[in-house]
Amino acid sequence: MTGLANTAPASTRKTSPPAARRGEPASSQRTNKRSSAVADATAKPTLELAEAFDQFKASLATYLKPADIQRVEAAYRFADTAHEGQARVSGEAYISHPLAVATTLAGWHLDPQALIAALLHDVMEDTAITKEQIAENFGKVAAELVDGVSKIDRIENQSFEEAQAENFRKMLLAMTRDVRVILIKLADRLHNMQTLDVMRPDKRRRIANETFDIYAPIANRLGLNSLYRELEELSFRHAFPMRYRVLAKAVKQARGNKREVVGKILESIRAALLKAEIEAEVMGREKHVFGIYCKMREKHLTFSQVLDIYGFRVVVSDKTSCYQVLGALHGLYQPVPGKFKDYIAIPKVNGYQSLHTMLIGPFGTPIEVQIRTAGMNHVAESGVASHWMYKDEQTLTQLQKSTHQWLQSLIELQASSTDNTEFLEHVKFDLFPDEVYAFTPQGKILTLPRGSTAVDFAYAVHTDIGNRCISCQINSESVPLRTELRNGDRVEITTASHAHPNPNWLTYVRTGKARAQIRHFMKSRQDDESSTLGERLLTRAIADLGHLPKDIDPVAWARFLHDTGLRGRQEVYAEIGLGLRLAPVVARRLLARDGNLQQDAKAGGSVSIRGNEGVAIKIATCCRPIPGDPIIGLIRKGQGLIVHAHNCATIGKLHGSKTEWVDVNWDPAVSGQYETYIHVVTKEARGVLAKLAAKISESESNIVNVSMNVDGDAMTSLYFTLHVTGRMHLARILRALRSLPDVVRLHRQFETRR
| One-letter amino acid of 337 | P
Angle ∠(9,11,12) on CA atoms, nearest 5: 75
Q: Report yes or no: 211 and 267 within 8 Å, Cβ to Cβ.
A: no
The Cα–Cα gap between 607 and 559 comes to 28
The Cα–Cα gap between 723 and 675 comes to 5
Cα 271 to Cα 279, 309, 331, 335, distances in angstroms: 11, 21, 12, 18
Select which of 125, 368, 425, 528 is catalytic: 125
Q: How many CA atoms lie within 13 A of 101 on its CB side?
A: 29
Asked about 125 being catalytic, the answer comes back as yes
Q: Give helix 420-430 / helix 393-416 axis angle, nearest 10°.
A: 140
Backbone angles phi, psi at 368, to 5 degrees: -100, 130
Asked about 126 being catalytic, the answer comes back as yes
Q: Report yes or no: 542 and 549 within 8 Å, Cβ to Cβ.
A: yes
Select which of 73, 126, 166, 178 is catalytic: 126
User: Running DSSP on this structure, what letter comes out for residue 685?
Assistant: -
Q: Are strands 310-316 and 334-335 parallel, antiparallel or unpaired?
A: unpaired
Question: Quick count: other Cβ atoms within 10 Å of Cβ 585?
Answer: 13
Q: Residue 510's closest CA among 557, 462, 546, 460? A: 460
DSSP string, 440-468: -TT--EEEEETT-BHHHHHHHH-HHHHHT
Using only C-alpha atoms, the chain has a radius of gyration, in whole angstroms, of 34
Q: Residue 176's closest CA among 218, 236, 208? A: 218
Q: Report yes or no: 321 and 276 within 8 Å, Cβ to Cβ.
A: no
The Cα–Cα gap between 374 and 380 comes to 10
The Cα–Cα gap between 85 and 39 comes to 7
Q: Which residues are catalytic?
A: 125-126
